[in-house]
Amino acid sequence: MNNLLVKIAKKRFSNPKSQIVHFVDDEKANKFLNDLKKYPHAYVLACLMDRQIKAERAWAIPYEIYKETSTFELRDLEKIKLREFKSIFNRKKLHRFNNTMAEVFHEAISDIRRKYKGNAANIWNNCPSSSTVVYRFLEFKGSGIKISTMAANILARQFRIPFSDNYSIDISPDIHIYRVMKRMGFVPKDANNELIIYKARELNPEFPGIIDFSCWEIGRKWCKPKKPLCNECIVEKECRKVF
Ligand code: SF4
């Protein structure tokens, strides 16, 4: 039988898709990142930027580049030299690692041209398996398993892009997920990434990453590091409250 956490996540997944996925606190930037038809590469590039800085800041980077270049057509981005990207990243202080991330950005654009015929949506078009999508994200410079599963997870869970299965979409542990999984008693207090990932697989093998957003939301709204709001929390009746 499903536990409450999985039930909540499945219910969200079965609800109609929300109008827009919120990545940042800027509606124009969100609209831009949600336009997978016109700018599918903006989504890919934003995922690749999501390393070692706050997610909000990372996800804003493609829109910041767009404001700078006045275009985000892939064929126009391709003409921009690496040194120009480095200059934009450094001048606008877009990332903690401006030179490295400018390289990641630049190389991803040429990979999308070369491997996906200039259309990043070919990464997820035609109902591929979840392992194929995760693998394709892993192939980008600078991408690891956390970014790749997150990218596939958002496509499946929030954009409702159809894959032939969701087995390979793991949870992407962050501080909120760690806290909630430990306090709920799913994993020991000293659990590492692997324990969290395999517990999520055990909880919902057909789509382990489905609980990712629910854990994150519980962690942000109720399961705060200090003074958790247990009385208001949606998983209170099944939580072991391990502190
Ligand atoms: S019931 Fe309390 S400890 Fe458990 S997840 Fe909710 S806020 Fe955290």
List, in order of start, the domains of the chain with CATH numbers. Answer: 4-15+168-238 (1.10.1670.10), 27-123 (1.10.340)
Residue 46 Cα to chain centre, angstroms: 9
What is the 189 CA–ligand 1 centroid distance (Å)?
14
Q: Which residues of the chain have pLDDT under 70?
A: 1-2
What is the 145 CA–ligand 1 centroid distance (Å)?
28
Q: What letter would DSSP give residue 192?
A: -
Per-position b or e across 98-115, b if 16+ CB within 10 A of its CB: bebbbbbbbebbebbbee
- Whole-number pLDDT of residue 111: 98
What is the 185 CA–ligand 1 centroid distance (Å)?
10
List the residue whose alpha carbon is closest to atom 2 of ligand 1. Answer: 230
| Residue to substitute in 214, 226, 235, 240 for testing ligand 1 pocket (most ligand atoms within 8 angstroms of CB) | 235
Ligand 1 neighbours (beta carbon < 6 A)? 180, 183-184, 218, 222-223, 228-230, 233, 235-236, 239, 241
What is the 1 CA–ligand 1 centroid distance (Å)?
21
> Which atom of ligand 1 is nearest the CA belonging to 233?
6
- Whole-number pLDDT of residue 2: 63
Cβ distance 92 to 40 under 8 Å? no
Structural tokens at position 168: 């390979």
Per-position b or e across 65-86, b if 16+ CB within 10 A of its CB: bbebbeebebeebeebeeeebb
> Which atom of ligand 1 is nearest the CA belonging to 241?
3
| Residue to substitute in 175, 184, 217, 221 for testing ligand 1 pocket (most ligand atoms within 8 angstroms of CB) | 184
- Whole-number pLDDT of residue 15: 82
Q: For 82-107, what is each residue's pLDDT tens digit?
A: 999 999 999 999 999 999 999 999 99
| Report field, pTM of the whole predicted structure over 0.85 | yes
What is the 231 CA–ligand 1 centroid distance (Å)?
8
Structural tokens at position 39: 């700018």
- Whole-number pLDDT of residue 12: 86
